[in-house]
Amino acid sequence: MKSLKTKKTRSRSGMIIIIAMFFIALLTAVSVSTATMSTANAKIANNHKKANRALANSHSGLEVIRYALDGMTVPNSSVQNSVQSRLNSKNLTSISATLLESDEIINLSSSALNSDSSDNFSTKITMYSDRWQADITGTSGQLDRKCRAVFYKNIHGNPVFDFGVATKGPLLMTGQAELTGVNLAVESDVLIDTSIAGNSFEISNQASVEGNVHIVNSLATYDVGTKSEIGGETGDSAEDNIHVGVDPVEFPVPNTDYFRQFATGDTIDSSSTISNYEVLENVTVAANTNPTFASNITIKGVLFVEQPNNVTFAGKVTVQGVIVGDSLVGDDPNSNNFDFSGQVECLDVSDLEGAQFAAIKNETGSFLISPGFGVDFSGQSNIINGVIACSGARFTGQAGGVINGSIINYSTEPMVMQGQGSLSFNRSGTGDNPAGFVPVYTLDYDPALYEEIID
- For 328-378, the pLDDT digits (tens) are 998 988 899 999 998 999 988 889 999 999 999 989 999 999 999 999 999
Supply the pTM of this predicted model: 0.75
pLDDT of residue 148: 96
Q: Is the pLDDT of residue 229 over 90?
A: yes
Alpha-carbon distance 132 to 437, whole Å?
Answer: 22
CB atoms within 10 A of CB 92: 17
Q: Which of 188, 168, 166, 186 is nearest to 177 (CA)?
A: 188
Cis, bond preceding 434 (omega within 30 deg of 0): no
pLDDT of residue 27: 73
Alpha-carbon distance 190 to 210, whole Å?
Answer: 10
pLDDT of residue 17: 77
Q: Which of 393, 397, 388 is nearest to 376 (CA)?
A: 393
Task: List the beta bridge partners of residue 331.
Answer: none
User: DSSP assignment, residue 450?
Assistant: -
Q: Is the pLDDT of residue 29 over 80?
A: no
Q: Is the pLDDT of residue 66 over 80?
A: yes
Q: Which of 132, 89, 91 is nearest to 111 (CA)?
A: 91
Alpha-carbon distance 418 to 397, whole Å?
Answer: 6
Vertex 426, ends 181 and 167: CA angle to 5°? 75
Tell me the one-letter amino acid at 9.
T
pLDDT of residue 1: 47
Percent with pLDDT over 90 in the chain:
66
Percent with pLDDT over 70 in the chain:
91
**3 state SS of 23:** helix
67-98 confidence digits (pLDDT tens)? 999 999 887 778 888 899 999 999 999 999 99
Alpha-carbon distance 313 to 449, whole Å?
Answer: 56
Q: Which of 147, 389, 356 is nearest to 262 (CA)?
A: 356
170-193 confidence digits (pLDDT tens)? 999 999 999 999 999 999 999 999
Alpha-carbon distance 189 to 168, whole Å?
Answer: 15
